[in-house]
Structures are given as structure tokens and as C-alpha cells.
Structure 1
Amino acid sequence: MTAAAEGLRAAPWLVRAYQELQRHRHLIVHGNVDDVVRWNNRYEPLAAVLGEFLTMTGYRAVGRYSLVDGITYRDEAMRGTAEPLTAAPAPTATEPVPAQSSSRQAWNPFAAAPPAAQPAAQTADAGREDGGRADRVARADESLRRAIRAAPPAQPRTTPDALGAIRRLMTQTEAPVAMVIDSADLIVGAAGQLDEHHRANVAHLRHMLAEAAVAPSGPGLRNAVVLVVRDLGELPAWLTERPDVAAVLADRPGPAERADVLAGQIGRFHRAAEAPAAVLHQAVTTLANLTDGMTVRDLQTLEVTSRLTGIGPGAPRRLVARHRFGVRDDPWEQLDIDKVRRADQMLGARVMGQPAAVRAVADVLVNARVGVDFVAGDAETGNRPKGVFFFVGPTGVGKTELAKAIAELVFDDESALRRFDMSEFSQEHASERLTGAPPGFVGHEQGGVLTNWVRERPFSVILFDEIEKAHRKVFDKFLQIIDDGRLTDGHGRTAYFSHSIVIFTSNQGAATLHRSHPGGVPPYQFVQEHFNQAVARFFTEDLQRPELLGRLGSGVVVFDILREQVIRSITDKFLGQITASAAARGFELVFDAPAIHRAIVEHVMTSGAALGARPIRDPLLEQWIRVPLNRWIMANAPGPGARILVHRTASSPPFGIQRYPGEIVEGEHP
């Protein structure tokens, strides 16, 4: 059997399995073992396919052992062939048989003394009696032997008993036989180590693998053990690394196989009967591309999703998204077009002084909403994230704030933002936390913090903060996200990023910006060039991963430094919040705004410049205005409608609180 000859009649991995059996190797079938498998132009469970496959390969008896069902065979003819070979050897003519009951005590050579001598006459009579008895014993012995040979073998009661029977089957040379052992990890793997029979199970398996014989009759096949396990890592190294054992990956269906499955069901999709043949054909091709990574069972339920959602074959990308993420509304489809048109203004009102960054994000939102791309339709897989950004610039200038603003704008929920602090992933072993620990390691059952989040919240903004602090291995996962739009965790579950926005942030180049431009405040063009060069050095020289920089493309967004007008705007924003809070409590605030602006700008542009806009709210406005204001209100208990003046003083803090000059509020304490 060759791949060319079989074509799509069987799953491609079965060709590899056939070749390994011809090389006299045992098999470990792992991976997508819970799916249905293509065989002879139909799809059947793996157990049924392996039975037919091994029979076709030339094995005269094919059995299966599971912890639940014990040893079973494909049919009664195979049972009749195999069971006599698994039985313990029958007693031979020289072996003792069970003692027969008699009225006389038989002579026992191990007794204390022989029987006493008898007279001659009595001896002759006894001889005749003994001769008759001997004949009867012989006939009974032969009858017993025939019954033993005709009786069915006793069924094994424990796993070691069953493996012992399988071992006898592997060592015989009368007929080529194969035995499939399900859930091998529960028998000889890490999951079975607590079983009291584990050591015996391992010993039996080692012997049967090493002692398996080649049957001289038939096609010259070696008796074979086929171990089935979901995760190859659950089996011990001594087993997976044996030269007489081959690990065969039962892979998920490829493009041709997916197209075959979809072609058989596309006619049952919602309103498919009304669609032209060309549309259905194109839908099959597109869906085969979009469903990479799905199992056959997943593909077979696409038609159900189509009928439930009312999405026909003419919208394959929408259909796959609904199927993959559940039958729920897609925020990208429902994103208000007017909101997208005003994205520049809405984002700019929250993130001040960063018009270039805001414009870059708004452009991505427009592209995602309108949908015009470099392909005519849905032919591409479309698994890449909706947007990938690399925000770089000084600290405290609005990188994280813009990420929050995107989550609020697109998903109407700021909690749709998930931030990962990359300083927590600086160690090599910590990088596995994103996708989950490998099998056998602590925390494996919990999955990955990143993959778990994306599987639960596929419509979200993913923020990787300060990625220069992450370990180099983490960048391999970043490349998968940008390129394929998906990650697979330690349990084999896939998280898709196709409906997410992925943002990386970095401060690369911030420490050297002012040294590289000593002549005052640099213009934005200089800032942009400086940070672009810093990012290029980081990826090409420090990481030696230029391919990552290439994947980011125009996604590198440089944030500007804080300038005086921006500092004033941010200050006014916080003062407005304090004013609104005071008004809700019945007070009217009057600020000496020019004096406050001058004080904040002076402080931020000198000693606080390295922290960006963060000091404006805390500690400056917190210590200069909010705390003194609350203390003054506590001490003076102004009545409702009181006007309060916040003005510059020569004391510390530099701003004082008092009643507005000439304002008298009835009922206010003096």
C-alpha cells in the first residue's frame, strides 16, 4: 500500500504505520486518537479502523486489550485462532494428573513405611484388581486431558494476567498476530505508577516487545503490539526510544482530507440548496483553509452550526468564527460604524499628545470593520489577530492607557484587556506558564495563563508589557501568535487569536533619548527615528530575531515624549475630575489654573520627566490639591453651594484652600 495508490481512501498516517510494520517494528499511535479516521472512503472510530488496517496488512488474528473490556477479538474466527495460542501449555503424558478417589489407599513413596507384604494368593487377586483399576485410571486420565484441551482458556482477571497471555501470543510462531493496547499510559505510563501491578506490567511489556517472533507462514510479519495513547509524553523514555518501536502521529486532517469531509456535507448547510454549484465549490475550498487544526468530528458539526446561526456557505469566515468561539455575537461584526469613524477623536480624548499612535490604531479598526484586504474573498486562513502593535516610547506617555481605550472602544468593556507583565516571564521555565507546563510537570493540569484566557475570552485585547524583560524562549510563542494566530497548550487544546488585538510594549531607547539630542526638546521626527532604530537593534542584535521585526511591519508605533501643552491638557483632565466629584457633593471649585499649570509643567519637565505623566496625578495633584482640599472641607464643614478657591501660596504645599473671596454661605461654620 502506498500513498499514491491509496490517495484519500485512508488517513495519510496509516501509510507510515504500514511501512513501520513491514520493518518489524511495534507501533505507538498517539495524537488525535479520539477522532474518527478515514478508511476505505468512510470515517470510523480508531479502534475499528486499526482492526481492519491490521487485518489487511496480513495479520491472521487481531485483538484489542483495554482495562474495561479485557482482551477481545475482531470476530469469532480470530478468537478461535488466537485463544489457543494464549493458553498455558496443556499437561503432557509424563505430567501428573489429579489423583482419583479410591476405596483403597494408594502407595505413596513419600509415606513413612511401605505397605506390609501379602500372601501369594492374595497378591494375585490384588494384581487383577490393580490391573482393572489402572485401566480405569488411564481412561479417566485421557478423558480429563481431552476435556482440558477442549475447554476454553480461562479469562485473565488482572492486567498482568492479560499481558502474560499477550506475551505468549507474541512469542508463538504459528500465525502472525497483532494486539492493540488502549490507554497505554494508564498501564505502563506515569498515570499508572500508583497501580500495585505497575512493575509487573512494565516487565511483561518489555519482554513481549523484545521476544515477539516472526511467523514463518504468511507475509513474514513479526507479531506486533500497537500501543494507543493520546500524549506521547505520558509514556516512559525506555519505551519511546526503543529501536524496535516506532511512534506514529495520528494527525488531524490535512487540507485535502478537510475538503473531502466538507464536500460531503456542504449541501446540508443553511440555504445551500439555493446556492449555485460554483459558490458551494468555493465554500468548500475556503472552509478547508479556514478550519486548519480542527478534527473530523469538528468538521462534521459545521453543518449544525450553519443551521443554528443561519449562516450559509456564502459567509465561510463568519461561520468558522461562530463555530470556533461558540454561537455568540461577534463584537467586530457589531462594531458601530459611526464609532469607528470617530475613533481618532474618542481615543485622542483619552490618550493625549499621541496623534501618531492614535491614528495607527484607528486605521487598524477601520480595516477590520470594512474588511477590504489583499485577497478577493475568504481564501486566506484569516487566523492572524485583527491587529498587532508594538508600542514603544518613554514610560508614562500613554501606551497602556491606549490599550485600555481600545478595549473600551471595541468591546465596550475595559476588562476585556488582559495584561501580562513580561518581567514575570524572565526565567526559561516561567515561559511555559503562557501555554501550560508539559505533561508530567507540576501545574500541567492547570493549562496556560495565556491560552486559558484566549479560549475563554477570544474577543479581547492582549497586552504584553515591557517585552524586553521576557526570556528569549517566549519570543517563539510571540512568533506563533503573529504568524499563525494560535497557540496549543499542554493538553492539546488550541487558543485562537484571530479576533483579538495583540499589543507589545517596550521602553527600548528611552534611556538614551535625551543624550542623543542634547540641544533641547527634540521634535517628533527625531523621537520616531530614534525609537525605530532602538527597536531594530533590539530584534536584530540583542535577540537575533529579525524575522519578528519583519512580521511586525507597520505595527511599530512610536509614542512621543511629553510636551508642555500635553502636560497642561492632562492636568486639566484631572482637575475636571476633581471638580465633578466636588460638585456631586454640593461644592463649587475655582482653580487658579495658570498657576497650577506652571507648577506642574516645571516639576514634570525637570525632576519628574523620567516618569512621564504618572507624577501629574500622584503625587503632584494628590498632595498639592486633593488632600488639602479634603482636610479643609473636614475642618470647615462648608454648607451646600459653597464656592471654594484653590490658589497659589508661598507655603508648602504650594496651593492653599479657602472660601471664595466675598462668598458667604448661610449656615457655614465661621
Structure 2
Amino acid sequence: MSAEDTRAPEGGAAPVAPPFAREFEATLPVHSQFVLWGNRHDSFLVRESAGARLRLLPLLDLLWETLRTSGYACLLVHDPVDGLRVHLPAAATAEESDRAEAAASRLLPRLPLPGTLPSLEALRTLMAELARPAQQIRAALAIDDASRIARGPTEMEPNERDFFRFCARLSRVAVPVGAPDGRTTPLYNPVIWLADREGDLPTWLTSGNDQIRSIGLPVPDLGDRQATARLLMRPFGVTDLDSDAEAAEACDAFAAQTDGLTLQAMIEITRLARDRGLTMTELPDAIRIYKLGVMDNPWKREYLRRRITDGEHSIPQRVVGQPQAVTKTLDILKRAALGLSGAQQSRSSARPRGVLFFAGPTGVGKTELAKAVSSLIFADESAYLRFDMSEFSSEHAGDRLIGAPPGYIGFEAGGELTNAVRQQPFRVILFDEMEKAHPRILDKFLQILEDGRLTDGRGSTVHFSESVLVFTSNLGMNVANGSERPVPHVHPDMPYEEIEERMKAAINDHFTRVLGRPELLNRFGDNIVVFDFIGREAADRIFGLQFDNIVSRVREERGIVLDVDPAVQAALRKRCTDDPHRGGRGIGMALESQFVNPLARALFDRDPAAGAHVRVTGLRREGDIVSVELS
């Protein structure tokens, strides 16, 4: 990647190099080996001098810049694929290249350059030559992909273990080298291990060894991203940000929306935007494509506003007797559709499009409303994904969501949640009965709700910025009073306002006092939607809808026209709707046992022909057995 440059943004002079590079440079006199781990594939901001231009350099280019100014003649790089080479930036002149190659040849006359075959024996010989050079030449060796040298830090072949033992000894017997220019103080010819994680190298190699320094390479902070965003505006025709308010605002938004991404990712996003013909104000679309890998955005479809408007009429027909819950849910969806989720914050957020916490009695429509939301937004009920959190009551069960950690059996498969969202980012995800999950698993939700992303067991980042998360809970329905069994905290005779107040107070108590997770409750904010008990009128409507479904199903499956006497319907209605605690699901279960089962028995025995008219004239109950009378 060629270096990018521009004038430094306002706000004071930045350091010449990133802190990790300055730490590396400062400790060259005292450490013979370094482990640079973490964000090693990124590009890094470098300022040539105070107030001067900024450049974006890959890690190896940055290391060479640091070493060159300290009097080093060359930087050698060894990787497991290509072997040994002399590293020079793409912009290096022919004279600089010849000088570095000549220095490497004088220092290592017995090793063929370039293209030494990658082997531990050749690498061992090279490191020994550098640690105690025959000539006073400063050189450094970067071992790229050091994480791949051995099968694992705790599972090594004998030759791999011997190699690292040699490296540990070499770190202590290396001698520093003086130089006529640059820094004249004797400096080591360092071995620089470039690793993905600090633990990829044997712990016994680095632990307690003062000659080996471990330096982490962090992901860029907001200031780095803002400076990089200004660098990357030039291809969009922006040359003076101080006089272009729209471009300055686009820069700030770009930096905020790339939270968690690398500077190299920002470069790739602008390339993608130019390739797609997007303007700088359309960079959020390029970010979404880069993160999610999809062009189509259901949240920006023209018909979404109309569908949500229609939902004000259709959803109450589907989720009966919950006007307050339906209204609040639709308000949150309207906010999400307009892109106003988190609008009160000072910067754009990558949090999920919508977060809903459904609380209330069982069987009142919480799950049904989640399905309705999926159908409403994405026109596809299969975009609805459900996790029963009672299956995640143990701490290790969280591996099912994001995948097992590296080194454990099955970690290559990833997690059920992360795989599903990676495959289809536009989803409604239901976490049912979340209070039954292990508290450690709830910590994963904290990351999703705060940052809108989650890293799975394979190290891949999954983004939830286009998903709607729905949590359901029965918290607050019952409370402990010192007896063996909890007692009801709310009951059907209470007004909705009192039910809502009591349940929210119980939810607050559970997260703050019982779980000790008030920060998780804060992420839900005012998105807690309390459902009411099923009232008499709603129960009658639910009964009517389910009863009609039974009659229609008999006609569709058997071709039989079913008539039921009004007296039979009235008796069934009373039996099925007497207990408001059971909710809509209880009405369906009662209908199945009181009517569907005896009807199926009677039709099976009589076996009427298709097209026949069958009339149900009565219900008869003997003990637990219910029968229907047909004519």
C-alpha cells in the first residue's frame, strides 16, 4: 500500500510515530528481542515533524523508518512461506535498495539472499549471526507470522522446542553494536517476533526474560481514525477541510462509524466507495457493505414506512389485547427505520437498530410480537431467530452462541448466533426467558448492546448494527416472601399502569441487586415493554380466532364442512377462557384438549366422506374424557 499524506488536522502536534514505535525505538539499547503482537496487519499514522504532513505506513515500513533513523543498515524479514528477504518500502530508491542489499551481504556472506528457504535451521543460523555479528553492522530481523512457527505454544515438535530454547539462550548472549552515525550508543541487532497474540509464543520464552520485551499493537483510537479520515478525503475532491463544513462533518461521521475497525479497513472502505461511485456523504453505505458484505439494505426500502403504518392495524389483529405493548414496539421500529436510534448521542453508533425487552405473563403474545416484527420489517418471518435461554443456564453453554475458544474441540465451527448473523445480518433475534441464562453469558449481550459487535471463537468480528434484538422475561410475575414458593406480584385485576410499575421495579431490582449488572439494564434504557394479562374481551377474541382456525383446518385437510351449535361454542368458550393466568397459549391448549382431540376421535371413527356436512351438537364429559356428539 502506498503511503497517503496530507496536512495535519488542527488540535496540536501529534507524536512522530505511534506510542508502540516510540517504545520500541527507546528500548533498543536494552532488549535484544521484541514481541510485537495484536493489530500487526494495520497501517499506522506517522508525522514527519511537528505540523508537517501525515503518512500511513504498514508495520514493516514503520519499523524500517524507526530503525533507519537509529543507524541501522537493513531490515531482514523471514516468513514461513517466502523465507528471507531484505525489506524496503515500495517508494525506496534504487540507491537505497542497493545499499541495504550490500549491507546484508556483508553481514551474512554465508546465507543466500534473497529467497532463503524457510526452515528453522536456516533461521537459527541467521539469528546467531545477527546476535553476535562479525562486523560492526546494525541490522534487525523481523520474523513475520511468528504465530505459525509451531503447531501451538504448548504442543510443539522436538525440533520446534529446541529452536525456541535456542532463542531464549540467544536473547541473553547477544551483544549490542555501535555505529558511526545515527545513534552512536551501542544498540542490539533485534529479533522482532510479529505475532497475532502474545500467547502464541511459548510462555517460558518471554516470561521472566528481561531481554525480551512484549509490546501490544492496539486498534486505532478515535483521534487516529479522525486523522485518517481527513487523509482519505482527497480522492473525493476535498482539499481544504477548514472551509468545507460538509466535508468536515463527513470526516467526523466516518471516524465515529468505523469504531473497532483498523486504519487499513478505512482505506479499503474508501476504495470500495470509489469503486461503487459513492460520494463522501454516502460513506456509511460503504461501511455497511464492508462490514456486512451486502448491498441491499431493508431499512432503506421505500415500502418500509408503509409497512410500519399498515402494522398499526395488522399487528393488533395478530397480538390481541396488548395495545400499549404494540404501540411502544412500533414507536421503537419507527425510530429504527428513520435511523434515529441513539440520535441523542454526540456521535454515530454501531449499536443494533432496535432493542426490545418484552416482560409480562406467559402466553400473552411476547413471542408472537417478535415474529410479527420480523415479518413487518424484513417481509420474511424466517429472518426471525430464537434462542431459548433456559438452555444456557451453565457458563460453558455460552460457547454455543459464539463458538468454542481456540484450541478446544469444535472451535472451527463458530457459534450458532455469530454464524447466523454473519450469514444474514438483517434479523430479528429473540432471546427468550433471558433471566434463566448464566450471568456470565449476559456479559456477551453487554458487548452487543454497547458496541454492536461480537468476536466469535475463530477471532472473526460479527456486526449486529442492522439487527433488532428482542429479549423476553417473566421477571416480576412472582416474588419471594420467605416461604418455599414465591407468591404472585401482579394479578389480572390490577390496572395496567400498576402492573407496568411493579414489573419494571422488579426488573430493576433483579439486574442491580441480584445479578449486579446495572450496566446491562442501562443498555435497555426505556425499551422495556410490559405486557398486560389477557382480559375477558381479548380472551374472547383469541378464542374466536383459534376456533375459526380449527374449522378452516378441517375443511382444508378433510374437505368436511363443520358446523358447531352456538351452545357448544358458548360452553367451550367458558371452559377455555376462565383462567386469565394461562394467556392466549392456555386458550389454545384448552381448545386442543376440550375440542380438537374429541373431534378428531369422532371423525376418525365415523370417517365421513369429503364434502360432507358434519354438525357438532353437544359436548359430553365423563371424568377426564371429553366426547363430542355429531349429527
Residue correspondences, number = 589
Cα deviations by residue, 1:596-629 (Å, 9 ceiling, x for unpaired): 45545545645xx6654333323x3223333333
1:572 alignment counterpart = 544
1:616 alignment counterpart = 587
Alignment partners' CA distance in 2, 1:329 and 1:340: 19
Per the TM alignment, residue 27 of structure 1 is displaced from its structure 2 partner at its CA by: 1.8
3-state SS in 2 of match to 1:434: helix
The 5 Å alignment of 1:52-71 reads 52-71=65-84
- Percentage identity across paired residues of the two chains: 32
1:16 alignment counterpart = 23
Per the TM alignment, residue 535 of structure 1 is displaced from its structure 2 partner at its CA by: 0.5
1:592–1:646 contact (8 Å) kept in structure 2: yes
1:394–1:559 contact (8 Å) kept in structure 2: yes
Alignment partners' CA distance in 1, 2:465 and 2:113: 60
Given candidates 623, 643, 650, the residue that maps to 2:613 is 643
Moved more, 609-618 or 384-393: 609-618
Given candidates 586, 590, 602, the residue that maps to 2:563 is 590
Given candidates 318, 336, 341, the residue that maps to 1:368 is 336
In structure 2, relative to structure 1, the CA distance for the partners of 1:314 and 1:545 (3 Å cut) is: same
Pairing 1:159–2:120 present: yes
1:557 alignment counterpart = 529
Per the TM alignment, residue 435 of structure 1 is displaced from its structure 2 partner at its CA by: 2.8
3-state SS in 2 of match to 1:27: strand
1:171 alignment counterpart = 132
Given candidates 250, 264, 280, the residue that maps to 2:217 is 250
> What is the one-letter code of the residue matched to 1:72?
R
Per the TM alignment, residue 151 of structure 1 is displaced from its structure 2 partner at its CA by: 11
Alignment partners' CA distance in 1, 2:67 and 2:99: 15
1:523 alignment counterpart = 495
Given candidates 280, 287, 296, the residue that maps to 1:313 is 280
2:201 alignment counterpart = 235
Pairing 1:330–2:297 present: yes
1:122 alignment counterpart = none
3-state SS in 1 of match to 2:439: coil
3-state SS in 2 of match to 1:450: helix
Alignment partners' CA distance in 2, 1:229 and 1:254: 21
Alignment partners' CA distance in 2, 1:250 and 1:200: 28
1:215–1:222 contact (8 Å) kept in structure 2: yes
Alignment partners' CA distance in 2, 1:26 and 1:598: 85
3-state SS in 1 of match to 2:219: coil
Per the TM alignment, residue 216 of structure 1 is displaced from its structure 2 partner at its CA by: 4.7
2:630 alignment counterpart = 658
Alignment partners' CA distance in 1, 2:114 and 2:431: 64
1:32 alignment counterpart = 39
> What is the one-letter code of the residue matched to 1:68?
V
Alignment partners' CA distance in 1, 2:115 and 2:539: 88
Alignment partners' CA distance in 1, 2:64 and 2:237: 37
> What is the one-letter code of the residue matched to 2:256?
N
The 5 Å alignment of 1:313-462 reads 313-334=280-301, 335-371=303-339, 375=343, 380-462=347-429
Alignment partners' CA distance in 2, 1:528 and 1:153: 74
1:187–1:201 contact (8 Å) kept in structure 2: no
Alignment partners' CA distance in 2, 1:564 and 1:224: 80
Moved more, 306-315 or 323-332: 306-315
2:149 alignment counterpart = 187
2:85–2:114 contact (8 Å) kept in structure 1: no
User: TM-score normalised to the size of structure 1?
Assistant: 0.78
Per the TM alignment, residue 464 of structure 1 is displaced from its structure 2 partner at its CA by: 1.5
Moved more, 69-78 or 407-416: 69-78
1:189–1:236 contact (8 Å) kept in structure 2: no
2:492–2:535 contact (8 Å) kept in structure 1: no
3-state SS in 2 of match to 1:215: coil
In structure 2, relative to structure 1, the CA distance for the partners of 1:648 and 1:22 (3 Å cut) is: farther
Given candidates 209, 222, 225, the residue that maps to 2:171 is 209
Per the TM alignment, residue 287 of structure 1 is displaced from its structure 2 partner at its CA by: 0.9
In structure 2, relative to structure 1, the CA distance for the partners of 1:595 and 1:568 (3 Å cut) is: farther
1:200 alignment counterpart = 162
Per the TM alignment, residue 238 of structure 1 is displaced from its structure 2 partner at its CA by: 2.0
In structure 2, relative to structure 1, the CA distance for the partners of 1:582 and 1:199 (3 Å cut) is: same
Alignment partners' CA distance in 2, 1:507 and 1:519: 13
Per the TM alignment, residue 515 of structure 1 is displaced from its structure 2 partner at its CA by: 3.8
In structure 2, relative to structure 1, the CA distance for the partners of 1:393 and 1:21 (3 Å cut) is: farther
2:40–2:217 contact (8 Å) kept in structure 1: yes
The 5 Å alignment of 1:523-542 reads 523-542=495-514
In structure 2, relative to structure 1, the CA distance for the partners of 1:306 and 1:196 (3 Å cut) is: same
3-state SS in 2 of match to 1:165: helix
> What is the one-letter code of the residue matched to 2:524?
L
In structure 2, relative to structure 1, the CA distance for the partners of 1:441 and 1:379 (3 Å cut) is: same
2:186 alignment counterpart = 220
Cα deviations by residue, 1:502-557 (Å, 9 ceiling, x for unpaired): 11111122234994569973332332222112111111111112222222121111
User: TM-score normalised to the size of structure 2?
Assistant: 0.83
1:424–1:430 contact (8 Å) kept in structure 2: yes
Alignment partners' CA distance in 2, 1:489 and 1:529: 38
In structure 2, relative to structure 1, the CA distance for the partners of 1:255 and 1:180 (3 Å cut) is: same
In structure 2, relative to structure 1, the CA distance for the partners of 1:404 and 1:59 (3 Å cut) is: same
Unpaired stretches in structure 2, ≥5 consecutive residues: 1-10, 49-53, 88-96, 481-485
In structure 2, relative to structure 1, the CA distance for the partners of 1:189 and 1:49 (3 Å cut) is: farther
Per the TM alignment, residue 50 of structure 1 is displaced from its structure 2 partner at its CA by: 2.4
Cα deviations by residue, 1:239-290 (Å, 9 ceiling, x for unpaired): 34344333323333333433344334435459999xx933222212211111
1:646–1:655 contact (8 Å) kept in structure 2: no
2:7 alignment counterpart = none
Alignment partners' CA distance in 2, 1:380 and 1:152: 51
In structure 2, relative to structure 1, the CA distance for the partners of 1:268 and 1:48 (3 Å cut) is: closer
3-state SS in 2 of match to 1:521: coil
1:61–1:82 contact (8 Å) kept in structure 2: yes
2:39–2:196 contact (8 Å) kept in structure 1: yes
2:40–2:194 contact (8 Å) kept in structure 1: yes
3-state SS in 2 of match to 1:463: strand
2:6 alignment counterpart = none
1:128 alignment counterpart = none
Per the TM alignment, residue 294 of structure 1 is displaced from its structure 2 partner at its CA by: 2.3
> What is the one-letter code of the residue matched to 2:357?
F
Alignment partners' CA distance in 1, 2:118 and 2:234: 50
> What is the one-letter code of the residue matched to 2:549?
Q
Given candidates 52, 56, 60, the residue that maps to 1:47 is 60
Per the TM alignment, residue 84 of structure 1 is displaced from its structure 2 partner at its CA by: 5.8
> What is the one-letter code of the residue matched to 2:500?
Q
Alignment partners' CA distance in 2, 1:214 and 1:536: 62
2:562–2:615 contact (8 Å) kept in structure 1: yes
Per the TM alignment, residue 306 of structure 1 is displaced from its structure 2 partner at its CA by: 3.0
Alignment partners' CA distance in 1, 2:358 and 2:445: 15
Unpaired stretches in structure 1, ≥5 consecutive residues: 89-149, 660-670
> What is the one-letter code of the residue matched to 1:333?
K
Alignment partners' CA distance in 2, 1:617 and 1:588: 21
2:476 alignment counterpart = 509
Per the TM alignment, residue 406 of structure 1 is displaced from its structure 2 partner at its CA by: 0.8
1:564–1:601 contact (8 Å) kept in structure 2: no
In structure 2, relative to structure 1, the CA distance for the partners of 1:451 and 1:154 (3 Å cut) is: closer
2:236–2:280 contact (8 Å) kept in structure 1: yes
Per the TM alignment, residue 70 of structure 1 is displaced from its structure 2 partner at its CA by: 2.8
3-state SS in 2 of match to 1:227: strand
